[in-house]
Amino acid sequence: MVPNWHTYWKFPGDAGIPTEINWKLPEGWKVGEIQWPIPLKLDEPGDIQIYGYHDEVLLMQEITPPASLSGNAVKLVAEASWLVCEKICIPGSANLKLDLPVASQSGSVNEEIFSRYRRSLPQNWPDTKVARSTWQREGNELRLTVESAALANYPAADFFPLPEPSVVVSHPKTERAGDGKIIFRVPIETDDKNVSALKGIVIFGQNQNGPDRNAWSLTTAVVSAAAPSMPDAFWKYLLFGFIGGFILNLMPCVLPVISLKIFGFIQHAGQDRRRILRSGLAFVAGIFAWFIGLALLLISLKSAGREITWAFQFTNPYFVVGMSAVVLVFALNLFGVFEISLPQFANRGVLGWTAKEGDAGSFFQGVFATVLATPCTAPFLGTALGFAFTQSGWTILVMFVAIAAGMAFPYFLLAAQPAWLRLLPKPGPWMVRVKQLMGFLLLATLLFLLAVLGAERGVEAIIWTSCFLLALSLACWMKGAFIIPTASATSRFISIVVVLVLVIGSGYFFIGQKFAVAKTVSAETAAHGDWQPFTPQLLESEVKQGHAVFVDFTAAWCLTCKFNEAKVLESAAVRDAFQRHGITKIKADWTNADPAITKILKQFGRPGVPMYVLYPGNNAEPILFPELLTQNLILEKLETVSAQVAAK
């Protein structure tokens, strides 16, 4: 072919038609199907994607003569027709003739070209020990998961579909989901819900359309045999969930509450063992209750077709106001402003609830600690959740239980083995001081929550929330000062009324009226330094122009994000490197749950922020960074990637 012209593969893609060869063979001769070499994937303007061949292609067919032949020679005739396109398309056809002598021994010709093209044929799907494939139908999308350690070494992987004529597919998307695990998503446009798998080939090589590519062909028969690959991976993800839950205990947002619990254990150290066990189990139950509740909520939202993501509750400003109020009340409690006591009726309990006040308190501490933990998507948790969010309701539930188990594990140990508490210091007056100190830690948490509100709703929102919090503090003080058993019934009643009026009135006025009208800070007006605010159009146009783009998916309430930004992304070394490699920096602020950003998070299989993506330019595949960044990681990747892109 003339340079840049192409003919088409068996499945031509969005346009074109495959080359056809019709044989006219003598009696008794048989011909096999065309053996199509791995095609190139070619892009044309207008998002047109085709599969075809440049320059030269050899379409092999195996011809089998009958067992015995008479005569000296045989004539094989074929009619070939093709479409060859560049800017324009020209149909072509030819009548081909081949005269072969009949002989008892075979002599081969053109061995070089045949052996060259044999090497570029897709191979049969390997043993399931080497590579496993699973198909999954999700709405209008077919998802092919290929698990193979062999693929980890190939940066370019793709799936070229070979759909049945009645099935219309759109462009497959490739997604790396871990070590040697690749997910191909193929949109199905035909309205046929029974399409559950496709034929096709899985391509892998050093780069897209490179000469060294290999391919495995996927026939639908192999697919069903490979189905039981799930459980193994599932256990692995459950383990991640457990470890992630354990690590949540160390996240800065939970630490203050956790210290409280440890402190509680110390207080009870000398006491009845069963009481310690009960209080510990109540705390553990609180952790489980929250995670199971969250799982059920997510499942119901997911089945309702909503976009769900991790820590999504923090994108709701009213949730943050509520959290601020709870944190402040806890802090005042620690300072000794008032004591938390459950109302009498709860203690008596119509259903014979015999739980002591301490147990209920422990339970809610468990819930509280866990609520605070959610915005810290710990590194392990990200993987586990990313997996869970693509799964069925049951899987999500089991996953969350695994996370809860991980988080609860240390308390369970301490509660079951209080002997280990002896390692902790003896109780004494110092405990009051520590308690007050913890109160300040909670106030620090409050500052963080207010900062989140400011980012979501602006300064005014912080002011109105603070007014509400002040009224709430006053109510707490009144509770501690006047609603006490020694006060007369009348003064207790009056105080309760005043407290209720303060809380409800200020809540209604400051939050319901003033806060509600505070303007949402749009992503465009927020200050981002030399980062450009994200819009899908900006990202698309930068990527299309072949620029290298780094996108920081962040949110005001995400501590891991803030840490990464301060320590890595804004460090002098990384800033210089970005500049040197001419990288466009885009900040995608998910504080208010921008749906355009949610969509991209989902495309990368991530349930929430942080997420860091580098588009290396020249249409190379984007690279996803882990959730905890290091300077070296970014610098190394920038070097290798820009070298690769330059080489291309």
Angle CA(279)–CA(287)–CA(416) in degrees, nearest 5? 40
Which residues between 545 and 584 bind other proteins (CB under 8 A)? none
Query: Mapping DSSP to helix (H, G, I), strand (E, B) and coil, where does residue 33 land?
Result: coil
Closer residue to other proteins in complex, CB, 158/359: 158
Which residues between 268 and 327 bind other proteins (CB under 8 A)? none
Q: Report the nearest approach of other proteins to the CB of residue 376 (Å).
A: 16
Answer yes or no whether residue 158 interacts with other proteins by CB under 8 A.
Answer: yes
Q: Report the nearest approach of other proteins to the CB of residue 538 (Å).
A: 12
Answer yes or no whether residue 598 interacts with other proteins by CB under 8 A.
Answer: no
The one segment of 38-46, 68-76, 341-349, 494-502 that binds other proteins by CB under 8 A: 38-46
Closer residue to other proteins in complex, CB, 379/507: 379
DSSP bridge pairs for 587: 533, 552
Q: Report the nearest approach of other proteins to the CB of residue 249 (Å).
A: 19
The one segment of 13-21, 247-255, 335-343, 449-457 that binds other proteins by CB under 8 A: 13-21
Backbone angles phi, psi at 380, to 5 degrees: -65, -45
DSSP bridge pairs for 550: 585, 614
Closer residue to other proteins in complex, CB, 334/601: 601
**Given 38, 50, 222, 397, the residue binding other proteins (CB under 8 A):** 50
Q: Report the nearest approach of other proteins to the CB of residue 527 (Å).
A: 27
Closer residue to other proteins in complex, CB, 91/126: 91
CA 38, CA 158: separation in Å to the nearest integer?
11
H or E element in which residue 100 lies: strand 89-101
**Given 171, 275, 562, 567, the residue binding other proteins (CB under 8 A):** 171
Closer residue to other proteins in complex, CB, 158/456: 158
Asked whether 311 and 377 are in contact (CB, 8 A), the reply is: yes
Listed residue (498, 468, 467, 504) closest to 482, CA to CA:
498
Asked whether 605 and 386 are in contact (CB, 8 A), the reply is: yes
User: Which structure tokens are listed for 590?
Assistant: 């998910």
**Given 47, 99, 127, 138, the residue binding other proteins (CB under 8 A):** 47
Answer yes or no whether residue 44 interacts with other proteins by CB under 8 A.
Answer: yes
* Residues with Cβ within 8 Å of residue 287, at least 6 apart in sequence: 366, 367, 369, 370, 404, 407, 408, 411
The one segment of 232-240, 396-404, 480-488, 571-579 that binds other proteins by CB under 8 A: 232-240
Which residues between 76 and 95 bind other proteins (CB under 8 A)? 81, 83, 85, 87-91
**Given 212, 540, 570, 636, the residue binding other proteins (CB under 8 A):** 540
Q: How far is CA 559 from CA 468, 526, 587, in A?
A: 25, 18, 16
Closer residue to other proteins in complex, CB, 381/453: 381
Closer residue to other proteins in complex, CB, 48/501: 48
Which residues between 601 and 630 bind other proteins (CB under 8 A)? 603-605, 621-626
Answer yes or no whether residue 379 interacts with other proteins by CB under 8 A.
Answer: yes
Listed residue (50, 213, 17, 233) closest to 120, CA to CA:
213
**Given 35, 128, 170, 347, the residue binding other proteins (CB under 8 A):** 170
CA 173, CA 100: separation in Å to the nearest integer?
46
Amino acid at residue number 234: F
Closer residue to other proteins in complex, CB, 92/336: 92
Q: How far is CA 507 from CA 321, 338, 482, 531, in A?
A: 10, 20, 22, 37
Asked whether 382 and 627 are in contact (CB, 8 A), the reply is: yes
CA 603, CA 597: separation in Å to the nearest integer?
10
Asked whether 181 and 142 are in contact (CB, 8 A), the reply is: no
Answer yes or no whether residue 107 interacts with other proteins by CB under 8 A.
Answer: no
Answer yes or no whether residue 203 interacts with other proteins by CB under 8 A.
Answer: no
Closer residue to other proteins in complex, CB, 186/472: 186
Number of helices (H) and strands (E), helices first, in the chain?
19, 21
Q: How many C-beta atoms surround the C-beta of residue 404 within 10 A?
A: 27
Could you list the residues that contact other proteins (CB under 8 A)?
14-17, 44-50, 81, 83, 85, 87-91, 152, 155, 158, 163, 165-166, 168, 170-179, 181, 187, 189-191, 236, 239-240, 379-380, 383, 536, 539-540, 543, 600, 603-605, 621-626
